[in-house]
């Protein structure tokens, strides 16, 4: 079973983390260990490579960051669990379609642990509850290695999503675990990591209070 390091970065600004995971992916080699980073970002709208400015309706004072993941505009903020997957998918013999399916399955499995039935919508990556988006994903693959990842709405202010068309979807609203039951972030982390370990058949080595140098 493959070993994967897990780093809990706590609350972070978006850009330093983006730069660090991109640099790690560019520098790694065939022997580099895979990593999973957990964080709650401070409020930010991120624009993927396919993002259209017309989907950014009224950002107000929330910063906007451009990045190299796939997809459209989304929002990150405290109370949302963002999980970055720094994986060598070539070494894992996993293609992009299967990778997306496994990420979605991990979120669906996590939500089922909280008695929430989530599903996929064809042509709209992510996971949904009654056509409300609760989990998003966006990836970048270079030389068989992936970075960026997914975000799961746990217990956060959903108001900023009203300032955008989330992921470029015009007829989709958003929801979160806290809309269905009381939840704390640590419980969400444990549940999602357990699902990732099962879905990817990996052994997670959690590094307490150890974070990479971000800058």
Residue tagged active-site, from 154, 167, 191, 196: 167
Partners of 6 in the β-ladder: 36, 206
Half-sphere exposure of 98 (CA within 13 A, CB side): 8
* C-beta separation of 66 from 120 below 8 A: no
Active site residue 167: yes
Ramachandran angles phi, psi of 139, nearest 5°? -135, 160
Enumerate residues 6+ apart whose C-beta is below 8 A from 93: none
Question: Whole-angstrom Cα distance, residue 181 to residue 95?
Answer: 35
DSSP 50: T
- DSSP for 69-133 reads SSS-EEEE-TTEEEEEEEEEHHHHT--HHHHHHHHHHHHHHHHHTTT---EEETTEEEEEETTEE
Strands 73-76 and 44-47, by their bridges, are: antiparallel
Could you list the active site residues?
A: 167
């Amino acid at each position: 079973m493959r070993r994967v390091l897990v780093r809990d970065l706590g609350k972070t600004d978006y850009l330093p983390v983006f730069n660090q995971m991109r640099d790690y992916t560019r520098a790694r080699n065939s022997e580099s260990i895979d990593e999973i980073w957990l964080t709650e970002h401070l409020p930010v709208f991120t624009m993927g490579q396919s993002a259209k400015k017309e989907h950014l309706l009224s950002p107000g004072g929330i910063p906007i960051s451009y990045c190299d993941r796939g997809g459209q505009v989304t929002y990150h903020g405290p109370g949302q669990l963002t999980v970055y997957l720094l994986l060598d998918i070539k070494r894992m013999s996993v293609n992009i379609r299967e990778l997306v399916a496994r990420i979605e399955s991990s979120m669906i499995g996590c939500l089922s642990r909280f008695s929430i039935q989530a599903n996929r919508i064809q042509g709209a990556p992510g996971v949904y509850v009654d056509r409300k988006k609760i989990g998003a994903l966006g990836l970048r693959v270079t030389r068989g290695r992936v970075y960026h990842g997914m975000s799961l709405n746990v217990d956060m202010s959903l108001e900023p999503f009203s300032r955008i068309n989330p992921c470029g979807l015009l007829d989709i609203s958003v929801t979160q675990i806290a809309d269905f039951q009381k939840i704390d972030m640590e419980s969400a982390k444990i549940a999602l990591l357990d699902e990732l370990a099962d879905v990817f058949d990996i052994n997670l080595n959690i590094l307490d209070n150890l974070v990479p140098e971000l800058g």
